[in-house]
Amino acid sequence: MILSVLEKRKWDAQSRLLRRELQDIELLYEQLHSHVAEGKKTHHGGPCIPAVRRLFVDTKGEFFPCERVDEESSELCIGDLKNGFDLENAKKILNVAKITEKECRECWCYKMCSQCVAKAGENGKIEAANRLKWCKQSRENAEEYIKNYIVLKNFGCKFEEGEA
């Protein structure tokens, strides 16, 4: 990705993987330069607003936040065609970081964390242990974005002008 952006390799505009990675680095740039004081209330990075991004409807007409979560799980189901949305479950999914509140509050990766309910609900149950076993990987991913950002910046990428 770095070599492509620096035009040392041909940029493949069709590559979703490359574009996705670059978008994440651009997001990091925006976060670093927004100069907005953190509010008293803030939200953990990672979860989507359930049903807004990729609502998934299974063959029984049940709703899930996306296709990556366990469709057999009642905790991960956010409603169905007959009864509409289950806002309580949707709220729990959005606020999944509550189950690891203590660890997340002390974690440097809080804003850059990529964990959502897809990791916490591996066995159909939203559980802290499921979530915490992915922390190492989340932090490593965040470190990788930071390193890539620094390299791109040092080689002259002008994120502020949309010239990455």
Residues 6-45 that bind ligand SF4 (CB under 6 A): none
- How many Å apart are CA 83 and CA 61, to the nearest integer? 10
Q: Which is nearer to ligand SF4, 9 or 53 (CB)?
A: 53
Residue 96: how many CB atoms within 10 A of its CB?
22
Q: Which is nearer to ligand SF4, 3 or 27 (CB)?
A: 27
Minimum distance, C-beta of residue 4 to ligand SF4, in the bound complex (Å): 25
Minimum distance, C-beta of residue 29 to ligand SF4, in the bound complex (Å): 20
Q: Where are the alpha helices (DSSP H) in 13-100?
A: 16-33, 87-94
Interface residue with ligand SF4, options 109, 126, 152, 157 (CB under 6 A): 109
> 77: which 2 tokens?
């189901």
Interface residue with ligand SF4, options 22, 25, 94, 113 (CB under 6 A): 113
Cβ distance 58 to 64 under 8 Å?
A: yes
Work out whether 103 is an interface residue with ligand SF4 (CB under 6 A).
yes
- Phi first, then psi: give them for residue 79, nearest 5 degrees: 125, -175
Work out whether 76 is an interface residue with ligand SF4 (CB under 6 A).
no
Tell which residue, 164, 109, 152, has the closest CA to residue 132.
109
Q: Which is nearer to ligand SF4, 64 or 149 (CB)?
A: 64
Cα–Cα distance list, 153 to 1, 20, 25, 121, 159 (Å): 14, 18, 11, 37, 8
> 58: which 2 tokens?
């299974």
Work out whether 133 is an interface residue with ligand SF4 (CB under 6 A).
no
Work out whether 126 is an interface residue with ligand SF4 (CB under 6 A).
no
**Residue ranges binding ligand SF4 (CB under 6 A):** 47-48, 53-54, 65-66, 68-69, 100, 103-104, 107, 109-110, 113, 115-118, 131, 135, 138-139
